[in-house]
Structure 1
Amino acid sequence: MNSNALKSRWEGPCGCGEVLAMGAPLMISMGSTTLMQFTDRMFLGWHDVNELAAAVPGGLLSFLLVAFFLGAASCVGVLVAQYHGACRPDRVGPALWSGVWFSLASALVLAALAGIGGPLFELAGHPPLVRELETDYFRILTLGGGFVVLATALSGYFSGLGRTLPVMVVNILGAAVNIPLDYALIFGTWSAPELGIRGAAMATVLGSVATCLLFCLLLLAPEAQKRHHVRSAWRLEADMLLRLMRVGLPAGVQFFLDIMAITGFSLLVGRMGLVALSATNIAFSINGLTYLPAIGLSVAVSVLVGRSQGQGRPDLARRATGNALLLAMLWMTLVGLVFILFPGPLIDLFQPSAEGAAAAGAPAFADIRQTGVVLLRYVALYSLVDAVTIVYFGALKGAGDTRFVMLTMLAASVCVLVLPTWYFVHNALWGIHGPWLSLSAYICCLAASFGLRFRHGSWAKRRVIEAAPPAACP
């Protein structure tokens, strides 16, 4: 590719330069989320291997419940982007508030569901000691899940307008609150009580509270009221809420199904023993270094596609998607090489202290390390395919084509991931390779489906916002 071609791809609306300018803060923002999860698991591994084994199933099951509401709230950014592209700033405030009211209702539902963890983990057949830790972690995270949903809805205002730098700053500050609290409440340092896995969950919730407060402070800016009526549009508009639900509910179900599939995968692997479960949990934690920054690019392409659709320019939506895919694959390639070349040192970050290694029922870390090295090779190999899945998902979501994504996720999660994983585990076939081959096939199936759907082009005819007379954009 010559210099003129590179310059053409980089410059102009929805070029690589604009995608990266919008996506880089979101990648850093997602990186801060990755760092919080990574340090949370690392601290728990230092404290007690059993707590590390419990953290991923407990956290995944909690996030499974939060995921439906989170997926719907994330579509606030789609509405804001399309209204912004259509030059209708007066509708941005009501779109934001529809997400706020939805988040408050979701907090009540999640609080009511916080007590169901114990019976579900007992049904999964995990060891009693791990089951008790999983239940505590799940309950605290679920009680505070409403703050995660609210933070997502509030961030949709900024990301939908293309202002991703404030989102980055707020999430970094949230991580700055969470990580020291995590250390203090797990180990009982700095005069804090030693709470172990319960302290980790409390620190996570408090970090989400801090994030919500920071977004609220930013929304008090005079421009937000003057241009978008953020403070005065607080009354619930039924039509706007229904508009959010039409695009958001399929997105919420899709996200729920995705997390349900991964949760089911983790629970089934847990039946293979603590070595398999702990190694899988470590691999998932390290995998976050790969896909969460790529999700930042997915959010950016969702905003750019939404804005382009609001402008009636599907050609720009296609350009944004192609450039985001290029950047995501470059990122996945770099991180995948690290996983192949240096798997051991990454896994050693989770090595427990002498006290944690001597905990009752704790497996030998050498066995966990040996299995974890194999799993990181799987992560490295499917990372490039995952880039295709993540970017095309963001593009379809930005266009409002969330129903197709939901139905595809339903079929793939049941038929390609959960049922084959159950078969391999139930019949003790191929050891840890059976479940992880199923996971790799699941990612490949999603990539093919989303890629073909986007190339078909039916998304270009969809409208998320109501029709309005043409306006002259400044």
Structure 2
Amino acid sequence: MKQEKLTTSLLGIGIPILAGMAVTQVQQITDQAFLGNAAPEYLSAVGNAGFTIWTTMSFLFALGTGTAILVAQKLGEEKPEEAESILGSTFVFSSFFSVLLFSIWFFGNRTIFHLMGLEEPILTYAALYAKIYTVGLLFSGINTAAMAVYNGSGFTRPLMLASILRAGINIFLDWVLIFGKFGFPAMGIAGAAIATLTAEIIGAAYTVMTAFSRKLPVYLSFTAIKQAKLGVYLRVIRIGIPASLEEFSWNIGNIVLIRFLNEIDPLAAGIYTIVASITIVPALFFMAMGSATMTLSGRRTGEGRPAEIRRTGQTAMLMCWGVSTIFFALFVVFPESFAGVFTRDPSVIAQTGAMLLVNSFALFPRSANIVFGGGIRGMGDTRWMLFTQIFGTIFVLIFARVLMFSLSLAILGLFLAVFLDETTRAVMNGRHFYSSVRRKSASRALSEGETAVSDRL
């Protein structure tokens, strides 16, 4: 594949994903702003409920990652019928997980939040939000299968359109239902939950309906759904479970890091959140390129073209490092200007600007981790990514504890620990990516040699 075509393919897959994620970020920020203006307790309740629910939902989305990888590989092998069988089986059997998760949250939300240590009135607000919002979990299984159609085939534009549709509906209904516009009563946090649920259902309906289009490279079919096989779905689980545990490990690490910050000063957690909010902008591009790398690596794995997997990773890496360089320069030159978007407190701006400057160095290894991770997953090796994430979680927690408390570096110690973690895992994942490609190249050369000998005989 020529360099120009490879770059175009990466951007063609990644840009719609990037746009969709950016729109979702705007949706979440607007949602938080509305709730914060209505009542500060609402913001705390949704923060606790949303994060915990998302942690459980990430299990299903990770299974969707397994589906997308297998679909991409089957398309590379030119076996679209098998890809459709994988999608049909995911559509059916992921729905069972959806019902299970819904039941847990709908009937056990108060117990879960009580165990988390929430107290009144936030406990009641969080439980009310969860009881309404988690009705959408019933549709998450089939939505996971539909998303795998786009991520596996590389035709990601519908994901962007679904995000725009979902965000537009959510923001409008938030304003109407939270504050009571157009004759509706002011419903507060219940209105926010209804708005989000409505937007999620409409967005999922669009995503699923479009996934049945025969104009797509691969699509959902009623035949494959009716012929769903548990054995096929078990292959999805074997790849998807490590991905879900990887996500869970990452979330656990962040929860503990925030706890460390709260031990120092509640303000430290706020500074950490501001820095994370600022650096999410380049990170969205990294994640989009990571998804594109996974899709193309899966396709090239199916085609038996390991050299193209290497080129895909290298090209995505150069693009991400170009973006990293731009944002590094901006964060170095204007750190306090970025911090001033989130607060007017001079002392907070000064501290946030300094921490943003330190965290800027982590952009390069972070982008490498995401791109190498996408390539490794595309080759079907999700276990390695689970291993490095568990290692990274333990690594960053130990170093953060030592640097923050034993060496009295406070919040600076946390950002140094994050940089060391990202750099260490970037080296580990980079070596594994290239060694995996070399093994596939050697295996292909051996296979071609055996075929040539057989033909001569």
TM score, norm. by length of structure 1: 0.80
Matched, 1:250 2:229: no
Matched, 1:302 2:299: no
Q: Which residue of structure 1 lines up, in the alignment, with residue 4 of structure 2?
A: 10
- Contact 1:52 1:278 (8 Å CA) reproduced: no
Matched, 1:211 2:203: yes
User: CA offset at residue 34 of structure 1?
Assistant: 2.4
Matched, 1:449 2:440: no
User: CA offset at residue 273 of structure 1?
Assistant: 4.4
Distance verdict in 2 for CA 1:379–1:270, change over 3 Å? same
Distance verdict in 2 for CA 1:383–1:267, change over 3 Å? same
User: CA offset at residue 291 of structure 1?
Assistant: 1.5
Q: Given residue 298 of structure 1, which amino acid in structure 2 is its aligned partner?
A: G
User: CA offset at residue 424 of structure 1?
Assistant: 6.1
Matched, 1:383 2:363: yes
**What whole-Å deviation, never above 9, does each CA across 1:137-186 have from its counterpart, x for those lacking one?**
66665554454554343111022112122222222222222222334444
Q: Given residue 386 of structure 1, which amino acid in structure 2 is its aligned partner?
A: R
SS at match of 2:116: helix
Q: Given residue 412 of structure 1, which amino acid in structure 2 is its aligned partner?
A: G
Q: Which residue of structure 2 lines up, in the alignment, with residue 406 of structure 1?
A: 386
User: CA offset at residue 196 of structure 1?
Assistant: 4.9
> 1:304 and 1:270 mapped to 2: Cα distance?
42
Candidates 157, 168, 173, aligned match of 2:160: 168
**337-346 or 244-253, which deviates more:** 337-346
Distance verdict in 2 for CA 1:444–1:239, change over 3 Å? same
Matched, 1:311 2:303: yes
- Contact 1:31 1:293 (8 Å CA) reproduced: no
> 2:413 and 2:191 mapped to 1: Cα distance?
35
Distance verdict in 2 for CA 1:67–1:283, change over 3 Å? same
**371-380 or 230-239, which deviates more:** 371-380
- Contact 1:117 1:138 (8 Å CA) reproduced: no
Distance verdict in 2 for CA 1:246–1:439, change over 3 Å? same
Q: Which residue of structure 1 lines up, in the alignment, with residue 76 of structure 2?
A: 85
**What whole-Å deviation, never above 9, does each CA across 1:368-405 have from its counterpart, x for those lacking one?**
54443344334433122211011111111111011111
> 1:150 and 1:284 mapped to 2: Cα distance?
32
> 1:227 and 1:410 mapped to 2: Cα distance?
34
Q: Which residue of structure 2 lines up, in the alignment, with residue 4 of structure 1?
A: none
**327-336 or 179-188, which deviates more:** 179-188
Distance verdict in 2 for CA 1:367–1:52, change over 3 Å? farther
Q: Which residue of structure 2 lines up, in the alignment, with residue 469 of structure 1?
A: none
SS at match of 1:171: helix
> 1:166 and 1:139 mapped to 2: Cα distance?
29
Matched, 1:276 2:256: no
> 2:112 and 2:334 mapped to 1: Cα distance?
36
Matched, 1:95 2:75: no
Q: Given residue 457 of structure 1, which amino acid in structure 2 is its aligned partner?
A: S
- Contact 1:9 1:16 (8 Å CA) reproduced: yes
Q: Which residue of structure 1 lines up, in the alignment, with residue 397 of structure 2?
A: 418
Distance verdict in 2 for CA 1:229–1:17, change over 3 Å? closer
Distance verdict in 2 for CA 1:98–1:429, change over 3 Å? farther
> 1:190 and 1:340 mapped to 2: Cα distance?
47
Q: Which residue of structure 1 lines up, in the alignment, with residue 51 of structure 2?
A: 60
Q: Given residue 109 of structure 1, which amino acid in structure 2 is its aligned partner?
A: L
> 2:146 and 2:350 mapped to 1: Cα distance?
43
The 5-angstrom pairing of residues 235-246 of structure 1 reads 235=226, 236-246=228-238
- Contact 1:66 1:149 (8 Å CA) reproduced: no
Distance verdict in 2 for CA 1:249–1:319, change over 3 Å? same
Q: Which residue of structure 1 lines up, in the alignment, with residue 412 of structure 2?
A: 433
- Contact 1:63 1:259 (8 Å CA) reproduced: no
- Contact 1:89 1:228 (8 Å CA) reproduced: no
User: CA offset at residue 324 of structure 1?
Assistant: 1.0
The 5-angstrom pairing of residues 170-189 of structure 1 reads 170-189=162-181
Q: Which residue of structure 2 lines up, in the alignment, with residue 397 of structure 1?
A: 377
Q: Percent identity over the alignment?
A: 24
> 2:100 and 2:407 mapped to 1: Cα distance?
38
Unpaired segments of 5 or more residues in structure 2? 444-457
Distance verdict in 2 for CA 1:189–1:332, change over 3 Å? farther
User: CA offset at residue 306 of structure 1?
Assistant: 0.5
Report the structure number with the largest CA radius of gyration.
2
> 1:194 and 1:371 mapped to 2: Cα distance?
39
SS at match of 2:410: coil
**Per residue, is there more helix in 1 or in 2?**
2
> 2:100 and 2:128 mapped to 1: Cα distance?
19
Q: Given residue 413 of structure 2, which amino acid in structure 1 is its aligned partner?
A: G
Equivalent pairs counted in the alignment come to 437
**435-444 or 368-377, which deviates more:** 368-377
Q: Which residue of structure 1 lines up, in the alignment, with residue 321 of structure 2?
A: 329
**161-170 or 133-142, which deviates more:** 133-142
Matched, 1:34 2:25: yes
Q: Which residue of structure 2 lines up, in the alignment, with residue 121 of structure 1?
A: 116
Distance verdict in 2 for CA 1:346–1:410, change over 3 Å? same
SS at match of 1:244: helix
SS at match of 2:361: helix
> 1:194 and 1:461 mapped to 2: Cα distance?
60
Higher relative contact order (CA 8 A, sep 6+): 1
> 1:54 and 1:290 mapped to 2: Cα distance?
29
**What whole-Å deviation, never above 9, does each CA across 1:427-471 have from its counterpart, x for those lacking one?**
7932322333323332223222211110112685499xxxxxxxx
SS at match of 1:87: coil
Q: Given residue 284 of structure 1, which amino acid in structure 2 is its aligned partner?
A: A
> 2:148 and 2:20 mapped to 1: Cα distance?
14
Q: Given residue 446 of structure 1, which amino acid in structure 2 is its aligned partner?
A: R
Q: Given residue 331 of structure 1, which amino acid in structure 2 is its aligned partner?
A: V
